[in-house]
Amino acid sequence: MLGTLGLFALLGNIAYAIWKARDPLLTAIFLAFMVMGLVDVPIAVPSLHLAELFWVAIGIALAKTGFFEQESVGSSLNNHGNGRKG
């Protein structure tokens, strides 16, 4: 039960990232895999190179939405803390 809830939470966050990326190809891949999931398990790994497409598309969507961009503590202090530039 807990694993199913975790999977739904993961897919919900992925759906939000793809919606935020506003890329028609990523949306089509995501929806196609969700529809295929009604009769098969296409996002399970290992597979016949189908799951890899799904997870690569998710990575592209997360990269487009800026999920992986994090500002380091040192650069934020230099830019915002004391008025100095650098």
**Segment 4-40, tens digit of pLDDT:** 899 899 899 999 999 998 899 999 999 988 888 888 8
- Cα–Cα distances (Å) from 86 to 17, 59, 70, 74, 81, in that order, read 32, 32, 18, 11, 11
Residue 5's pLDDT is what? 92
Contact 42, 33 (CB under 8 A): yes
Q: Is 42 within a domain?
A: yes
Q: Is 85 within a domain?
A: no
Domain that holds residue 56: 2-80
Section 45-58 average pLDDT: 77
Structure tokens that stand for 31 in this block: 């929806």
Top pLDDT among 23 and 77 is at 23
* φ, ψ at 54 (rounded to 5°): -60, -50
Q: Is 86 within a domain?
A: no
